Chain A
């Protein structure tokens, strides 16, 4: 039973964090290079610009869901299963989502990287 809970947490964490990553990446691309903005307008302008981007709040919400699911998952299941399994799955989900929603060019190089990193993260937990 606790296995089922752990895997439910893993699924929820990886899906929510992928949604969060995509929304946050979208928001930050709209904000533009924060280094440049900081130089021209100062730190406050950067903070104001980031927090007034509507998709940023949505991204934070998705990340909060992922964070609290992880906390629950960690108390239900084994740390060595829940954390790496959800991180590993999130790499693969993100590669797909970045291509579909962010129109990033996920070529062979980036697919290989996503799969290698996902496999590596999973292996490190064994």
Chain B
């Protein structure tokens, strides 16, 4: 794992969380009346809302980082990284905006951090049981960093 790869993982966490927050804000503004199964055009028009549009742009950035990460790391390695975004938002809310964070949220933050630590300390790619990852794909041998 190089520094660049950690940056890509950080991008996964940050873009996903900020994008989701913007989407949620936009959708809340539209309300439940405008968006329902009986009003599909309302759902399509939701994309024109600036909060939703910016959210979607950030989620595209997230998706690019996510795809890049999945090209060199396991799914079960990359996924926990996405949850670090929740922790980031809570920390910014507390130390930046002096929001009160309940003890259950602190506990949640702790659990996520420990969980991510568990994965990050291990190998980023595990060899498949068949020796070769995928038919037709490049054969993967254990890299030195994966031996821990």
Contacts and interface: CB of A to CB of B under 8 A. Distances in A.
A binds B: yes
Interface of A: 21-22, 24-26, 28-35, 50, 68, 71-72, 74-76, 79, 83, 87, 91, 94-95, 98-99, 102-107, 109-110, 112-117, 119-126
Contacts of B128: 102-104
Contact of B119 (A22, A75, A94, A110): A110
Nearest to B25: A79
Contacts, number: 157
Contact of A109 (B68, B104, B107, B119): B119
Interface of B: 4-5, 20, 24, 27-28, 30-32, 35-37, 43, 46, 66-68, 70-72, 74-80, 83, 86, 90, 102, 104-105, 107-116, 118-119, 121-122, 126-130, 133-134, 136-138
Contact of B27 (A25, A75, A102): A75
Nearest to A106: B76
Interface on chain B toward A: helix, strand, loop, or mixed SS? helix
Given A29-B70, A71-B35, A112-B115, A21 B75 contact: yes
For chain A, what secondary structure do more than half of its interface residues adopt (helix, strand, loop), or is it mixed?
A: helix
Nearest to A122: B108
Given A98-B76, A110-B76, A34 B111 contact: no
